[in-house]
Every structure is written in C-alpha cells, then in structure tokens.
Amino acid sequence: MQSYQQMKTNGHKLRLPVHPPTRLPIWVIVFAIICSTALLSQAATNELTTLLQKGLFEEEANHNLEAATQAYQTVITQFDKDRKLAATAVFRLGEVFRKQGKTNEAKAQYERVLREFPDQEKLAALSRKLVSTSSWTPPAQPDQNSFKIMNEARTDAAAGRYADALAKHVWYFENGPDGTRAFALNDWVALAAIYPPALQKLKAIRDEIERRFREGEAWRDPFGPFAEFSSLNGVLQESHKTKDLFLWLHKDRPSAAKTVYPLVEPLLIEAKEFALCGEYIGASSFDSAVRIYQVSKSNYPSGNLAEHNENYFRQKAGTLVALLVLNKRMAEADQVIGKALKAVDDPDFKAMLENARKGEFPPPKYVVPAALQGPAPIRVIPTRDLRVPPSVAVSQAPSGLIVVDDKDAEFQGLWTAGNPELTAEQFGKMYFWTMSGKSEPTSTVIFRPTIPALANYYVEVWHSSGPNRSTSTQWEVVAAGGTNRFSVNQRINGGQWVRLSRYPFTFSRGKDGYVKLSNITGATENTGSFGGVVIADAVRFLPVEADVAETALPTLDPSTLASLRAEAQAELFKCETLLADLKKVEKQALPQVLSTVLTEPDSNLMELLKAKSLAEQKLTEKRSEFAEGHPEVRQAAALVTAVSSQLVEKAEGIMLGLQRRVSTAKSRLARLDAQGSGAPPASRGEDGPK
C-alpha cells in the first residue's frame, strides 16, 4: 500500500469512492470547500491543509481509520482562524466514527458542526441531515451480503426504522448485483407510501439518470441505465417519462435511441407512434429473434421456460408484422411471416399472423395451444394444470395425489413473501424466500400431508428458478422408513415438479410423515457476490400407481417404435461423446470451449464471455493508470472475478443439462425397449436416498 506522500509524488489522483446516500461523494464537497478558501498566507495553515488531505487519503483510499482520526484531531486542536478547515476536520472525524460503528460519537461531531460552525452552510446542511436520518453503516466491501441488506431493509421498514430502511434500499440500488435490483423496487415503493423521504429519493434517483442522459453522458452501454430509468418510472406510475426521454434521444442521440428502443416499443405502440417505431424495425432484425427462439427451444423443450419462449417469439413476430404493415412495408411484413412460419407452423400462429397482416396487434399475452406444449420430460414432470390452488388442482389430478402449497405449510424463522409479478414460475398465487445459512438453521418450513392410508409415494418439490437461488437447498423426507436427505439446485428446473428420489417413500396413515426444507446450504455454498436465496413453494406426494398411469407411453406401431428408438440412440451417442470430451477440460477453460463446440451456442454464455473480455480490458486500463492496491483497480479486479464465477456456474449448468439429456435418452430407450419386448418399464429417475 503506497503512502499519501508517495501517491502525491508519483502524480496519482485521489479517486475516492462514493459515500451513499448523499447525491455527491462527501470528499467532492469537502475538497470544493477547501478549494474555495482564500489563498492562505501562513505556513502553519498550509501544513494543516496538507494534514487534512492526508487524513482524507488515509480514510478513503487506505481505509486506515486510526491514522485518519489522528490527522483530523491534530487539525482540530491546532487550527487558528480558518473555520472552514476546522469544520471540515470535525465533520470528517464524525464520518470516521460512523464507519467504526460509533454512532453516538459520530452524532456528537455532527452536532458540534451545527453548534460551532453554523456559518459553514454546506457542511452544516450535511451534518443536519446525518443527525436526523439513518445511523446504519454500509459494509466496507460493496459486493458483500447485498441480499442480506435488502432483507434487512424489509425488516427495518416493518419495525418502523424507516430511515435505516431507506438507506439500505439506496445502497442496494447503487451496489446490488446487476439484474436483481428490481427485486427491491416494490418494497421501496411500499416504504414510500408511509415515509415521504423514500418517495423523494426514488424520484431523485430517477431524475438523476434522466439528467445524465440529457447532459450527454457517454455510457458504454446505455441499455442498462435506461432500463433502470424505465423500471423506476414503472413503479412510480410515470411511464410517460420513459417515452418522453426516448423521444429526446431519438432527436439528439439516435445511436442511444436505437439501443434502448426495445424497452420503449410497447409505450410507443400504446401512444400510436407507429411511424416512429418504423424507423427502428425491419425484416432483417427478425433473424436474431429466430435464432434465439431456436436455441432456447433446443435448451428448454418443455416446461415454463419453453412456454415463455413460445409466447415471446409469437408476440415478437405478430407485433413486428403489424408495425411493418402500418408503415406500408408489405414486402418486409411478408418476409417476416415466411421466416416465422418456417420456425413455427401451426394453424393458430398462422391465424394470428394473418390478423397482424391486417395491422392488428396480437393480444398482450398470446396463449400457446395445448398441442404445442411438447412432451413431458421423463424425470421432471411439468404439470401446468396444477398451477392453481390445491382445492382446484386435486380434482384434475391423478387419483390419490396430495399437494401441500405454501399457504398450508408450517413456517418458522424469517421468511418473506415473494413478488409473483417477478416470475411466472410460482405454484399457485404465492411463494416465500429466505437467505441461506451455513451452520445452524434459522429458517425452516414443513410440508405435512394428510395420508389417507399406508401407501408408497414419490416426493416432488416445486420452486421458481433464478441466478440468485441457492445451488444446494437441503430437503428432508421423514417417512415410515426413517429420514432421507436430498440436495436441490434451485437455479435450474424452475416452474415444474422436481423429483427428489427415483425411489418411492412409504408413508403411514395420518400426519406423522412430512417434508422439511431449511435455509442451511452447507459450508461450500458460493453464489458469487451474495448469499443464495432459498425458495419455499409447494410439495406434492404422487402415489406410485398414479405415476405409472400418468407417464406410460402410448402403444406404438413397430415402424414408429424403431424410428423413436433410433432418435434416442443418436441423442445418447451425441451427448455421451460430448460429455466425455468436455470432462477432460479444466473448469476455468470450460466456458470458452463450450462456446466453440456446441452446435448452437448458449446466448447467455456468449454474453458472459463478452462481459468477461470487457471486464479484463477495463482491469488492464486501471492497472496502467493506478497502483495495484488502488480502489479502482480492486473494483475492476472484483468485477473480473465475479463474471468469471458466473461463467463457471453457467458452464456447469450446461454440463448438467447434457447429463440430464443422457439420463433422459437412456430412460426413453429403456421404455421403448420395454414396449418392444412387452416387459414393464424400469423405474425412472437418477438419485436414490442419501
């Protein structure tokens, strides 16, 4: 670590981190105050100015709070006439105490500024704000415990600690992982309904993003900031501001407008700005939508992700055709229709496109016909008919099926109701989540069925998936034969039933048996920069007899049987050969290898590889500009590490997908062979009790 004097001699600039929740970093205001001081004539004052700058460096760059305290206290005790210098030192001393968790001592320094230096208006205003607001101390490392802090914000709001809750919401919005900030916005709005400063801060952040756009800030990728601007306007019910900013970008920054257009297209259609939409669309742009659809369909042939993929593609095609027609570009509209029907050719879709060719937009949520929902996978059983409350579902389900939803479960500890608008994968109307732990469980939930008679049941669990989920949630099945434990990765297989074991469990009559989920995920849990989320949603108990009836293959003629068997053998050979080669590759090199060997590379994998390349480039730039221990270098290095971790996890997910395809192909071959020989099918699944 370089000293302040070394950094000064080497010509390095002091680039200190932003201090939330104030609009500008405190050090910027401090230096502005120092620089506004008249030219000092006394050598002693110059020395104190240098000493104050040294204290700022030790506090913000070196995080040496003891050395900073000593420097500030020396300035306070030795100052003569320079009140701005003294007031700055008192204020900074309060900041040091706050960072050390010494709330009372910090408050005393802020009050001293108000009492002894009221003429220093900027510092007095900051001190007044800090005295009257949050006493919460942000973590030293912004990438640590971000989901824990979001959860604390909810707890603080419920307990009436509104200032602390607001400070944590602001911190999370500024430091939380990309792609997860929307999780907290609805909670922030709920806080704003009872705490006006929260609403003011929401609008201030929104207005700041708009100001930065209008003043010409050159974001490397304006899509992210504009998406946040759009989300904030959405929760504030002021989406017209999103459209207004886009109209300004269209006129003054057309390249940025082209990047963010997909975010604002629905608003423009609602406003009947069809001609404006026409400047950003074309038949050629539909090619990427077709590729994404085909890749997603290959990766997710069934389940909720498959349904979402179908919905999105059909909606995209119909909307594009209607816009082209309304812009009198019939030839391009017909090109899109041809490409769309080549990818998906069924009567319902064709009828929708015919209406679009008349200038009619598709309905907001196009419903996929049941015939196109695809065959059910063998190990994971999708049951869209059960995604309703159990009282309705049981009448439609196989005989003897028992579903225990979260509303009937027994919760202990801290669980938070999830926002059903953020996922389409919850069972019924609600789901619950909690943060994972590593030693003693702090949150548990029991799904307890009422068993009508002694019988054997398969146990299957339901969760919504996501990148922030735990990869090793721990489940216990307590049945007549004892207790068995299982681990489930909740980042995958969301929105469908996941079977815990290939073997059924014997449950006695009554309520003695149950399934338990805890927030313990093990000492090796690692989900990147924040702890994993554990989802509790529903558990079902499927009688063995109902399972056989639900999944039996229809009777096939010999020709069809042979054809299906050949397809399964080809799939098995392809996946097993690829897996054997990939297992020889080192973990860190696996993402790059997968991007080249897969027939249709995963789009998310390619984006992560691109993000890693950009992060490494940024790290190289920072290392050429600053010393190795500088905060900007550390921040850039942390970004490279985080993206690399996500890449490895993505590659492991692709490998798991290949393994599931091998298992599915083997099981399908066994069932086809059984039908060909007249023998009963073998039991399904992969994992037995542990």
Over residues 310-337, the pLDDT tens digits come to 888 898 999 999 999 999 999 999 999 9
- In angstroms, the CA 346 to CA 344 distance is 6
pLDDT band at 339 (very low <50, low <70, confident <90, very high): very high
HSE of 315, CA atoms in CB hemisphere, 13 A? 14
CATH code of the region 384-551: 2.60.120.260
Domain with CATH 2.60.120.260 in the chain: 384-551
Given a cut of 90, whether residue 669 has pLDDT beyond it is: no
Please answer whether residues 123 and 36 qualify as being in contact, where contact means their C-beta atoms are separated by less than 8 angstroms.
Answer: no
Is pLDDT larger for residue 141 or for residue 262?
A: 262
- In angstroms, the CA 84 to CA 52 distance is 11
Mean pLDDT of 392-419: 71
**Which two structure tokens, joined as six digits, stand for 515?**
């399934």
Mean pLDDT of 377-388: 25
Per-residue pLDDT tens for 113-132? 888 888 888 888 888 777 66
Fold entry, domain 4-132: 1.25.40
Distances in Å between the Cα of 317 and the Cα atoms of 74, 260, 275, 330, 675 are: 70, 19, 18, 14, 41
High-pLDDT (> 70) share of the chain, %: 72
Which amino acid does the sequence have at 99?
K
**What pLDDT, on the 0 to 100 scale, is given for residue 143?**
56
Rank 134-143, 268-277, 582-591, 656-665 by mean pLDDT and report only the highest.
268-277
Please answer whether residues 380 and 302 qualify as being in contact, where contact means their C-beta atoms are separated by less than 8 angstroms.
Answer: no
Please answer whether residues 525 and 470 qualify as being in contact, where contact means their C-beta atoms are separated by less than 8 angstroms.
Answer: yes
Given a cut of 50, whether residue 12 has pLDDT beyond it is: no
HSE of 486, CA atoms in CB hemisphere, 13 A? 24
**What pLDDT, on the 0 to 100 scale, is given for residue 183?**
56
High-pLDDT (> 90) share of the chain, %: 18
Q: Report the predicted TM-score, pTM, of the whole model to 2 decimal places.
A: 0.40
Mean pLDDT of the chain: 75
Could you tell me which of 230, 231, 232 has the C-alpha nearest to residue 202?
232
**What pLDDT, on the 0 to 100 scale, is given for residue 124?**
86
Please answer whether residues 2 and 10 qualify as being in contact, where contact means their C-beta atoms are separated by less than 8 angstroms.
Answer: yes
User: Any idea how long the chain is?
Assistant: 690
pLDDT band at 507 (very low <50, low <70, confident <90, very high): confident
pLDDT band at 435 (very low <50, low <70, confident <90, very high): confident
**What pLDDT, on the 0 to 100 scale, is given for residue 241?**
94
**What pLDDT, on the 0 to 100 scale, is given for residue 524?**
42
Could you tell me which of 81, 11, 85 has the C-alpha nearest to residue 49?
85
Beta bridge partners of 506: 456
Please answer whether residues 484 and 690 qualify as being in contact, where contact means their C-beta atoms are separated by less than 8 angstroms.
Answer: yes
pLDDT band at 442 (very low <50, low <70, confident <90, very high): confident
pLDDT band at 14 (very low <50, low <70, confident <90, very high): very low
Distances in Å between the Cα of 14 and the Cα atoms of 50, 53, 61, 496 are: 14, 10, 8, 52
Number of C-beta neighbours around residue 576 at 10 A: 16
Query: CA-based Rg of the chain, rounded to a whole angstrom?
Result: 30
Per-residue pLDDT tens for 451-465? 988 788 889 999 988
Mean pLDDT of 232-251: 90
Number of C-beta neighbours around residue 133 at 10 A: 15
Given a cut of 80, whether residue 156 has pLDDT beyond it is: no
**Which two structure tokens, joined as six digits, stand for 184?**
């907290």
Beta bridge partners of 420: none
Per-residue pLDDT tens for 622-652? 888 888 878 778 878 877 887 787 778 777 7
Range with the lowest mean pLDDT among 10-14, 31-35, 491-495, 530-534? Answer: 10-14
Is pLDDT larger for residue 411 or for residue 144?
A: 411
**What pLDDT, on the 0 to 100 scale, is given for residue 476?**
92
Domain with CATH 1.25.40.10 in the chain: 4-132
Those residues whose C-beta lies under 8 Å from the C-beta of residue 245, and which sit 6 or more positions away, are 210, 213, 214, 226, 229
pLDDT band at 304 (very low <50, low <70, confident <90, very high): low
Could you tell me which of 495, 324, 504 has the C-alpha nearest to residue 420?
495
**What pLDDT, on the 0 to 100 scale, is given for residue 545?**
61
- In angstroms, the CA 278 to CA 320 distance is 9
Mean pLDDT of 504-509: 81
Q: What are phi and psi for residue 385, nearest 5 degrees?
A: -70, -20
| Helix orientation angle between 182-194 and 162-175, rounded to the nearest 10 degrees | 150
**What pLDDT, on the 0 to 100 scale, is given for residue 560?**
66
Tokens 């990818």 — which residue?
343
Is pLDDT larger for residue 589 or for residue 159?
A: 589
Per-residue pLDDT tens for 591-629? 877 777 665 555 567 777 777 878 787 888 788 888 887
Mean pLDDT of 155-163: 73
Per-residue pLDDT tens for 527-561? 333 347 899 999 999 887 654 434 445 555 676 66
Per-residue pLDDT tens for 47-105? 888 888 888 888 877 778 889 899 999 998 887 678 888 999 999 998 888 777 677 78
* Phi-psi region at 528: left, alpha or beta (left = phi > 0; alpha = psi -120 to 50): left
How many helices (DSSP H) and strands (DSSP E) are in the chain? 25, 13
**What pLDDT, on the 0 to 100 scale, is given for residue 677?**
60
Range with the lowest mean pLDDT among 298-302, 389-393, 405-409, 467-471? Answer: 389-393
Mean pLDDT of 175-181: 63
